[in-house]
Amino acid sequence: MSTGQSGRRRPARERLLAAAARRFYADGVAATGIDTITADAGVAKMSLYNNFSSKAELVRAYLDARHEEWLGLYRARLEQARGPRAGVLAVFDAYADHAASAFEHGFRGCGLLNAAAELPAADAGRAVVRAHKEEVERLIAGHLEELLPGRPDEAHATAEHLSFLLEGAMARAGLEGDGVRLQHARSLAADLLERL
């Protein structure tokens, strides 16, 4: 994908992060070398090292950016949500929105989990992914606490259940290459929420 003239005016750090996002998501973290990223970004290799001390730091920046990107989608959905049930469904909708905006080679599932699967057990990037997944579950729990006042145990158990539903749907959607499973999971979540 060419960066074009307007892309070349962006700071090198932005171009490197955008290239890393495209290449890591399409090809994987381990399979994507620094040369591929710098070529895709249209910058010299020295620009990468002027912005990131290592590939590992670039990977962490990519993971942080994916988390912030998802939070932006969630916040946009939450602005339209009316009530705690709609707040829970906004989480599912944000995941579907993320799937719909998959990069040029199509939807491959959760970019954060894909990257985490390639990182060593003690890698700091895995902590970024774990924090994201925990935050998603906390967001769901917060909406459920509002829906189920005075029933925090039930709210947290249901949040865990819905998080598992969402993660399972993401895994299957990634294998199947589209977001259909996410829509099905949202329907299941909506049905469950109506029974609370």
pLDDT digits (tens, 9 = 90+) for 8-26: 568 999 999 999 999 999 9
What's the confidence (pLDDT) of residue 2?
A: 42
In the predicted model, is pLDDT for residue 5 greater than 50? no
| Domain 11-52 grouped into CATH 1.10.10.60 | yes
What are 2's two structure tokens? Answer: 């060419």
Amino acid in position 160: E
Local confidence band at 99 (pLDDT 50, 70, 90 cut-offs): confident
Local confidence band at 100 (pLDDT 50, 70, 90 cut-offs): confident
What's the confidence (pLDDT) of residue 67?
A: 95
Local confidence band at 178 (pLDDT 50, 70, 90 cut-offs): confident
Q: Are 22 and 105 in contact (CB under 8 A)?
A: no
The structural domains of the chain, with segments of one domain joined by +, span: 11-52, 55-194
What's the confidence (pLDDT) of residue 103?
A: 63
Find the mean pLDDT for residues 24-38: 96
pTM (2 decimals)?
Answer: 0.91
Q: How far apart are CA 76 and CA 94, in angstroms?
A: 8
pLDDT digits (tens, 9 = 90+) for 118-160: 999 999 999 999 999 999 999 999 999 999 999 999 999 999 9
Question: Buried b / exposed e across 148-184, counting CB within 10 Å, b at 16+?
Answer: beeeeeebbebbeebbebbbebbeebbeeeebebbbe
Q: Give the list of residues 6+ apart from residue 181 with CB closer than 8 angstroms, or none.
A: 169, 170, 172, 173
Please state the CATH superfamily assignment of the domain spanning residues 55-194 in this structure.
Answer: Tetracycline Repressor, domain 2 (1.10.357.10)
